[in-house]
């Protein structure tokens, strides 16, 4: 019988954790999050509290108290995996907007937005330029009389359809691209980043330009917003300075009159109401976790947080690797560094995060670098130099092509025999669904020419400079 693990959370993080525990011979038990958040299933068993067992320093066990139909029960578990994520409590910053208490129209968080029909002929202000805010604004623009987006700091807006119609992430989330970004001089790296973000349109012309454009904050993905602004059915305004009974006064002095509804797309906050604050510590609004997973100050590493990171990459492969690593640590086949080494790593990484993503984005991380760090712990990181020597065809696709999750199933625990073929044929599967009318062979991208085109201008300028000198 394997160790008993309590899985708290019903999303993809929880499902990935259950699978990883089963792969490692552990015995997972699934619970929903605390009932003040709201569960996915009506008859779920909710977690009320998670506390250290009296002999925790020796056994690393946890007392988990659950509740169902008003009845509470307690059980002892060898480990706990917290999978509630970071999109938990809606953030509604009413105190940040003077006069909002005098506003006579409707006011609610984007989580409560359901469908656009009820806003037919209405004048709507959307506060926030994130993915939710932009999706709501563009959808409302088809039914509402007027839609405005208020943004405090702006944002990069990217299209899901990238160069030559290929998916953006399959072209941009690559090992070679990450190598350039992390090793080129800062000035060149920043230039390259801004050029990529402005590839579709100049953000300055649309009022979307971020205040600090070189920060690697998560961009907004919306194919409709630029066209909606261009057609005048959506307008972008700066931060709201003050609300009146029926209007909003912006920081540039302009006024949006006759507002019927204000929708706050202002994100979410996170909390662990079932855990004592001493278990997962915070510091300057930063949760202290080694690699975003393990609290470093516990006597036993038998509690893991899954899904508490955000990166410019797919969430499911990320939580899959987190849970695979956590399951091996819980099982005892993988050990963590010393408490001192973990704290030094946390402090070092936090400094880099502030530099790359800004002070407010403490859970943001570099996707490929982070995935390589996690996979290194469990022996699942692909050895790129060795691949170039033994399997050049696969190596080219792994290094220059999309960093798909198959890469972390090539070697190590959880190795999948079909991973190599899946990597070599990933473009066939990605493009095949679009071939409902066949007019020729599938046109796969050539990554060499993609990067050559990107650097064509600077290469030409350097060549002219060398010739003239």
pLDDT single digits (tens) 403-435: 999 999 999 999 999 999 999 999 999 988 888
Residue 303 CA to residue 323 CA, distance in Å, equals: 11
Say what the pLDDT of residue 40 is.
Answer: 46
pLDDT computed for residue 358 by the predictor: 63
* 159-214 pLDDT tens trace: 999 888 899 999 889 999 898 888 888 888 888 888 888 989 999 999 999 988 77
Residue 228, exposed/middle/buried by CB under 10 A (0-12, 13-18, 19+)?
buried
Is the residue at 179 inside a domain?
Answer: no
Domain-terminating residue out of 248, 267, 286: 267
Same domain, 276 and 254: no
What would the two tokens of residue 467 be? 């010739």
Is 60:78 a contact under the CB 8 Å cutoff?
A: yes
Distance, first Cα to last Cα, the chain? 75
Query: Is position 452 within any domain?
Result: no
At residue 462, the pLDDT reads 65
336 assigned to some structural domain: yes
Give the mean pLDDT of the chain: 87
What's the whole-number mean pLDDT along residues 234-257? 94
Q: Is residue 414 part of a domain?
A: no
Residue written as tokens 């953030």? 91
Q: Give how far Cα 23 sits from Cα of 76, 302, 386, 414, Å.
A: 22, 18, 28, 8
Same domain, yes or no: 284 and 149: no
For 274-315, how does the pLDDT look when each residue is reduced to its tens digit (9 = 90+)? 888 778 776 655 678 899 999 998 999 999 999 888 888 888
Q: Are strands 282-283 and 146-150 parallel, antiparallel or unpaired?
A: unpaired
Residue that is last in its domain, among 373, 400, 425: 373
Q: Are 306 and 13 in contact, with CB atoms under 8 Å apart?
A: yes
Same domain, 207 and 340: no
- Residue 403: count other Cβ atoms within 10 Å of its Cβ: 26
pLDDT digits (tens, 9 = 90+) for 360-378: 556 778 899 999 999 999 9
Q: Is 402 a residue whose pLDDT tops 90?
A: yes
- Give the number of other CB atoms < 10 A from CB of residue 190: 16
Percent of the chain whose predicted confidence (pLDDT) is above 70: 89
Residue 36 has pLDDT above 50, yes or no: no
Q: Do residue 65 and residue 114 come from a single domain?
A: no
Strands 220-221 and 157-158, sheet pairing = parallel
Range of the domain at 106: 90-159+200-267
User: Which pLDDT belongs to residue 38?
Assistant: 46
Single residue among 317, 338, 373 that ends a domain in this structure: 373
CA distance 367 to 402: 12
| Encoded tokens for 287 | 């949760």
Residue 27's alpha-carbon distances to 44, 80, 176, 186, 279, in angstroms, are 19, 11, 40, 48, 23
Look at the chain and report how many structural domains it folds into: 2
Give the domain CATH number at 283.
Answer: 3.50.50.60
Report the C-alpha gap between 220 and 66 in whole angstroms: 38
Confidence of residue 43 (pLDDT cuts 50, 70, 90): very low
What integer is the mean pLDDT of 223-242?
A: 94
């Amino acid at each position: 019988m394997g160790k008993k693990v309590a899985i708290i959370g019903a999303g993809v993080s929880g499902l990935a954790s259950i699978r990883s525990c089963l792969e490692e011979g552990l015995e997972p038990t699934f619970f929903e999050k605390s009932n003040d958040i709201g569960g996915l299933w009506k008859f779920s068993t909710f977690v009320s509290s998670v506390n250290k067992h009296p002999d925790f320093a020796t056994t690393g066990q946890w007392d988990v108290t659950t509740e169902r139909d008003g009845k509470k029960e307690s059980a002892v578990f060898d480990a706990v995996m917290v999978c509630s994520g970071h999109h938990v409590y809606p953030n509604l910053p009413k105190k940040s907007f003077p006069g909002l208490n005098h506003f006579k129209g409707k006011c609610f968080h984007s989580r409560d937005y359901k469908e656009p029909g009820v806003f037919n002929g209405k004048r709507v202000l959307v506060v926030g330029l994130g993915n939710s805010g932009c999706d709501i604004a563009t959808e409302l623009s088809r039914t509402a009389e007027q839609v405005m987006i208020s943004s405090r700091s702006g944002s990069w807006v990217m299209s899901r359809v990238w160069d030559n119609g290929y998916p953006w992430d399959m072209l941009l989330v690559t090992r070679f691209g990450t190598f350039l970004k992390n090793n080129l001089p800062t000035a060149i790296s920043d230039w390259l980043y801004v050029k990529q973000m402005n590839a579709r349109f100049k953000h300055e012309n649309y009022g979307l330009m971020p205040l600090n454009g070189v920060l690697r904050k998560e961009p907004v993905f919306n194919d409709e917003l630029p066209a909606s602004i261009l057609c005048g059915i959506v307008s972008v305004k700066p931060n709201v300075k003050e609300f009146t009974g029926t209007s909003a006064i912006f920081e540039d002095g302009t006024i949006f009159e006759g507002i019927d509804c204000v929708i706050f797309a202002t994100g979410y906050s996170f909390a662990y109401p079932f855990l004592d604050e001493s278990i997962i510590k915070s510091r300057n609004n930063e949760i202290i976790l080694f690699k975003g997973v393990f609290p470093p100050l516990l006597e036993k590493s038998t509690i893991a947080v899954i899904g508490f990171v955000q990166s410019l990459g797919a969430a499911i492969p990320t939580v899959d690797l987190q849970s695979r690593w956590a399951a091996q640590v819980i099982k005892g086949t993988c050990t963590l560094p010393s408490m001192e080494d973990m704290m030094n790593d946390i402090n070092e990484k936090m400094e880099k995060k502030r530099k790359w993503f800004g002070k407010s984005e403490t859970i943001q991380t570099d996707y490929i670098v982070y995935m390589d760090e996690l996979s290194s712990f469990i022996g699942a990181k692909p050895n790129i130099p060795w691949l170039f020597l033994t399997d050049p065809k696969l190596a080219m696709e792994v290094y220059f092509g999309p960093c798909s999750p198959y890469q972390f199933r090539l070697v190590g625990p959880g190795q999948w025999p079909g991973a190599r073929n899946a990597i070599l044929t990933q473009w066939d599967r990605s493009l095949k669904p679009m071939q409902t009318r066949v007019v020729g062979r599938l046109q796969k991208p050539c990554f060499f020419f993609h990067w050559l085109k990107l650097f064509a201008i600077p290469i030409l300028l350097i060549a002219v400079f060398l010739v003239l000198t």
